Amino acid sequence: MKILQTLQHPLAGETVVLAESAHGVRLALCPTPGFSAASAHFGLRFGSADTRFRMPDGRQVEVPDGSAHYLEHKLFEGREEKVFDRFGRLGASFNGGTGFHATTYHFESSGHFEPCLEVLTDFVQHPLITQERVDKERGIIEQEVRMYDDHPAYRGIFLLHQALYHNLPIQVSPGGRVADVHVITAADLQSCFDGFYRPQDMCLSLAGDFDPEQVLHFVDQHLDLPPREVAERTPLSEPGKPQHAWLEESFPVSRPQVYIGFREPAGVGLGAPRMERRILSSLILDLIFDRSSEIHEQLYRDGIVDDSLSCYWTDDASWGHVVIQAVHDEPKVFVDAIQQALTRFAADGPSREDAERLRRAAYGASVSSLQTPSALASSLLRGMMDDDQPFATLDFLAQMDFEQLSARAREMFGEERRAVAILQPGERSE
């Protein structure tokens, strides 16, 4: 185990120890004296979008959509005993999650931190994947997929992804479709595990009232998966403009639901460029669509937007887009009015006063969010997986340059990079 750096972060009011295990797992530890619970978050950059890859032995593999999520479920089965039962006996709260490009597992415990850490490091490194076990889980995952299928916002977002992108696998939800769930095999999941669950791609963050050196020693004994080559993802070509400008589908909703996306031509990779783009993009959306904005107020008074409006920036290394969503009786009217407002904003640019006020608000919200050991560990894991320094968001907000914000505002809303998805009231499309 190597301690790489001990970092005092005055803005966050925290100390972080960065380390690396003997086999290459990256670690971040944050002592939180006086707190009862301790938390560990484990993650790796492997997600639902990773469906085509070449194994280290040269074998080309293609797995069904939803495989990464299915694998997450199977890891919770444990090798000899269900993880639910092991964590359950220890009283821990725990969960896992699969995104497009990452899978994470975490727990929180007040009284049994090291035994829980042993469970976590064990089940993510030593699964037993058999066809019988995979078949047993199918009904459960099918119900999970169907649960999301009834959410209009969930359906609307994936329809928007279909409009925005040509080839990226983010057009399908991380859980896959019911039909995908029916055909996933043990061999598919084993390939995913063998290809991507490698120590040099793993990250582990821990926060709690503990002695970091003692915890590092404990962890080093339990991170025993030997380093091996990681599978190579098959590159996908993705044109820089949306596949469809306008896509509609019927769904059982009372009124039309409108989803507008503005995509980037390409991603900017991980690390500082992505983090900065994320913060700047989010601030610009607040400058336009937060209740503090005169633009938003005018749209509200005109009946174009109401409290159903929401907007956000979402991205990863290879893609990024804005989402603006709302319920509106006349989608075309809504889209035109939003486009006009965006064009006007891009031409006028943000005001320094508004930007400074929003910067303060974002800073206050970011500090406040780093409260519990679990929130701290989650933030540290995200930072490691995104190749950012701990609490990099706070550092950037503390010294943000107004010119960067203005430049970002000018490039975000090109109409040629816009796609619209609509859920129209009606019976569910087949």
Partner 1 sequence: MAYSQTIPQTVAVAPGVTLLMLPEPRFKRARVSMLADLPLDEGRAARSLLLDVLEQGSARHPGRVALAQAEQAAYGARVMMGRGSAMERHRTRLGIEVVGQRFLPEGEVVLPPALALAGSLWQEPWRGDQGELFRAEIVDRERELLLQRIRERIDHRSEWAEERFLQHLCPDEPLGLLSWGSEEDVLAVTMDDMERERLRLLNEAEVLVLAIGPLQADDLLPWLREMFPGDRKPWQPPAQELREAGELRMVREELDLDQAQFHMGFRLPPPPDPQQRAALQVANVIFGGGVTGRLFRVVREERSLAYGIGSMLRPRKGLMTVAAGIDANAADEVQDAVLEQWQDLVQQGPTPEEMSTAMVAILDRLAAVADDAGSLGAFHQREFHRGTHLTPAAWAEHLQAVTPEQVAQAASLWKADLRYLLAPESKA
Rule CB under 8 A: which residues touch partner 1? 11, 13, 34-37, 82, 84-85, 87-93, 108-112, 136-141, 143-144, 146-147, 149-152, 252-255, 290-294, 297, 300, 303, 306-307, 327, 357-358, 360-365, 367-368, 370-373, 427-428
DSSP 372: S
Question: Buried b vs exposed e over 264-303: b needs ≥16 C-beta within 10 Å?
Answer: beebbebebebbbbbbbbbbbbbbbbeeebebbeebeeee
Long-range CB pairs of 367-371 (<8 Å, 24+ gap) are: 367/11, 367/12, 367/13, 367/394, 370/12, 370/14
Cβ atoms within 10 Å of 212's Cβ, excluding its own:
18
C-alpha distances in Å from residue 277, one per residue of 46, 355, 401, 406: 22, 15, 13, 12
* Pick 66 or 242: Cβ nearer partner 1: 66
Q: Could you give phi then psi for residue 169, rounded to 5 degrees?
A: -70, 0
Q: How far is the CB of 429 from partner 1 (least distance, A)?
A: 12
* Pick 95 or 340: Cβ nearer partner 1: 95
* Pick 2 or 360: Cβ nearer partner 1: 360
* Pick 252 or 269: Cβ nearer partner 1: 252
Quick one: how far is CA 183 from the chain centroid? 26
Q: How far is the CB of 175 from partner 1 (least distance, A)?
A: 10
Q: How far is the CB of 327 from partner 1 (least distance, A)?
A: 7
Q: How far is the CB of 201 from partner 1 (least distance, A)?
A: 28
Q: Is 140 exposed, middle or buried (0-12, 13-18, 19+ CB in 10 A)?
A: exposed
Contacts of 294 (CB under 8 A, 6+ apart): none
Tokens 């997929």 belong to which residue?
Answer: 145
Q: How far is the CB of 291 from partner 1 (least distance, A)?
A: 4
User: Distance between CA 366 and CA 393 in Å, rounded?
Assistant: 8
* Pick 47 or 156: Cβ nearer partner 1: 156
Q: How far is the CB of 16 from partner 1 (least distance, A)?
A: 16
* Pick 12 or 219: Cβ nearer partner 1: 12
Contact present, 65 and 179 (Cβ < 8 Å): no
Q: How far is the CB of 318 from partner 1 (least distance, A)?
A: 30
* Pick 50 or 180: Cβ nearer partner 1: 180
